[in-house]
Structure 1
Amino acid sequence: METDPEFGGTSRRLLIAVASLVLGVGVFLWLSPGGLGDGEPVWVVGGASVDGYQSITEWVADTPSWFGHSLEIATEGTLVLLGLILLWVWWTALRAGNAARAAGAIVVGFGMLAAYGLSETLKVLIEEERPCRAVPGANALAECPPVGDWSFPSNHSTLAVALGVGLAVLLPRLAAVTLPLAALGALLRVAVGVHYPHDVLAGATLGAAVVTAVLVLLGPPAVRPTATVFRRWLGHQPGSGGQHRRGGPVPPPPPRQDLVAPGAEGAHQPAGDARFGQPFGEAGQQQPVPGGAQVGGQPHALGGQPGDHPRRDHG
């Protein structure tokens, strides 16, 4: 059975993904205002969520104007910052040759897009009216979206929490930064007056459930193709092959040991899939390369002692 140190075998990964989605669906349905497939807009004008909306927006309305405008900017800024953190994780993994982490970052991005697509679809099906139109005397700081731009669930919250939770699962040490940012991004949608609290809770639930399921299912299988792409990309950079300046062919440099896909010649053989956040070839035994060379910093024996260089005739 296929195994990996982070989530177990394929069956266990499938079980975790299904459990995440089932829990997410249960919470989402509990928060839903109804109206799925009715074809008529849903107006929420009473209940705990409306009370919470009015309390938060009235408090913001009593603050200085500069503070309210700062909240309006921050509601977009949290998404931008989380996106930059994801790009930073991917780029540093690329620079370090950590295929497992780079694959995880790509899968987090894919999971975020999947959650957003599902959120947008459900929004159109449920058709909940925005609180800035439905609640009498609403104190909306931001401009109320046009009619037909529905409220449930919150797309901003879905995106923010998908990024925050995905990054926290991929690199737990980032959780102290990404999870508060995601929560802030969701809460600000209520503070500026364009969403009910149950809208952002539903979006957060959707984003967390989908990105977790996608990362658990697709993260480990994505490591091998990511390592292969990295190895080929690094092996075909300008100047890495072709003709030498002084004439004569120059062979491409040997692949770095941490970018060689499992099973490739000269690679370390890890015991199972590479762990998220762990470079390839970190565990397992070295495999000899035909001709006596070893990968991993050991002396080469391809025609001389360590430090010798093969002579090149320029006839």
Structure 2
Amino acid sequence: MTPHELAVYDGSGIDGGLYRLVVGWAEAAPHWFNRLVELWTLLGLGVFALLMLAAWWRARGAGPAVMARVLASPLVVLVAYAVNSGIKGLVEEVRPCAQLRVHDTLEACPGPGDWSFPSNHTVIAVAAAAALWFADRRIGAVAAVAAVLMGASRVWVGVHYPHDVLAGALVGLAVAVPLALAAGAAGPLVDRARTGPLRPLLGAGPQSVAAPAGRPVGAGRD
């Protein structure tokens, strides 16, 4: 890599010292732990897809606004990713492993033009967690923990500065929160679709319990 390529943007002055500290911890960590982190940072984004499927399954018995938010969650993630890609192209921050000449990172250092700021993995994870939070609190909480672990793993394996991860989290939240909230407005569309051929996929929503003849719902026992 030439000095010209490294001169695009140097983020090491922000938290390069913290980055080196974390990479040093990774170098001294047990082999089994580092393998787990590598596996998570490589495959962990698939967990969010599974969580979206779980949220869809649970939303089949929920109100139409909930289902609308679940169905919108992949689109929310795609929009967040697109916004983040635009920011990456504007900032063009060199990866810390390249800028600081760190050669012993757990993940191979990406090549020239694969910019560092903000972290795509973190944006995707946080956007997914935020979208799921507004659809299903339990699944959203699990996704939030997974998003934190994903962001941390990107620094641990050596391909991002901590500020890349923090910025990625902020971008993910800034994009996902308003979109997830707005998606609830599509509830009436889901409600209508539930009366047609898509009902097996969308569910029937919450069902009221019919009362026995001559006895109101909720009446106590004799």
Q: Same fold (TM over 0.5)?
A: yes
**Equivalent residue for 1:42?**
9
Q: What is the alpha-carbon distance in structure 2 between the residues aligned to residue 72 and residue 172 of structure 1?
A: 28
Counterpart check, 1:214 vs 2:179:
yes
- Structure 1 CA distance, aligned partners of 2:101 and 2:64? 53
1:57 lines up with 2:55 in the alignment: no
- In 2, Cα distance between equivalents of 1:88 and 1:70: 24
2:58 alignment partner in structure 1: 92
Shift in alpha-carbon separation, 1:236–1:112, aligned structure 2, 3 A:
closer
2:76 match: secondary structure = helix
User: What is the alpha-carbon distance in structure 1 between the residues aligned to residue 42 and residue 87 of structure 2?
Assistant: 22
Shift of residue 177 of structure 1? 1.7
Which residue number in structure 1 is paired with residue 84 of structure 2? 119
Relative distance call for 1:160 and 1:297 in structure 2 (3 A) is: same
Q: C-alpha root-mean-square deviation of aligned residues, in Å?
A: 2.5
**1:111 deviation in Å?**
1.3
Contact 1:44 1:135 in 2 (8 A): no
Larger radius of gyration: 1
**1:168 is matched by which residue type in structure 2?**
W
What is aligned with 2:188? Answer: 224
Distance of 2:33 and 2:75 partners within structure 1:
34
User: What amino acid maps onto 1:163 in structure 2?
Assistant: A
TM-score by length of 1: 0.60
Query: Greater helix share, 1 or 2?
Result: 2
Distance 1:235 1:148, change over 3 A: closer
CA contact (8 A) 2:19 2:161 kept: yes
Structure 1: stretches of 5+ with no match in the other structure: 1-39, 238-257, 260-278, 283-295, 300-315
- The range that moved more, 184-193 or 109-118, is 109-118
| TM-score (normalised: structure 2) | 0.83
Between the aligned partners of 1:138 and 1:53, the Cα distance in structure 2 is 13
Structure 2 residue identity aligned to 1:90? W
Maintained 8 Å contact 1:99/1:280: no
Query: Which residue is equivalent to 2:40?
Result: 74
- Secondary structure in structure 1 of the residue aligned to 2:13: coil
Could you give the per-residue CA deviations for residues 129-158 of structure 1, whole angstroms, max 9, x where no partner exists?
Answer: 001100134541101112111000100000
Are 1:181 and 2:146 matched, yes or no? yes
Indicate conservation of the 8 Å contact 1:90/1:106, yes or no: yes
Structure 2 unaligned spans of 5+: 1-6, 213-222
1:2-13 matches, within 5 Å, as none
Q: Which residue of 2 aligns with 1:270?
A: none
Distance 1:193 1:236 in 2: 45
CA contact (8 A) 1:57 1:192 kept: yes
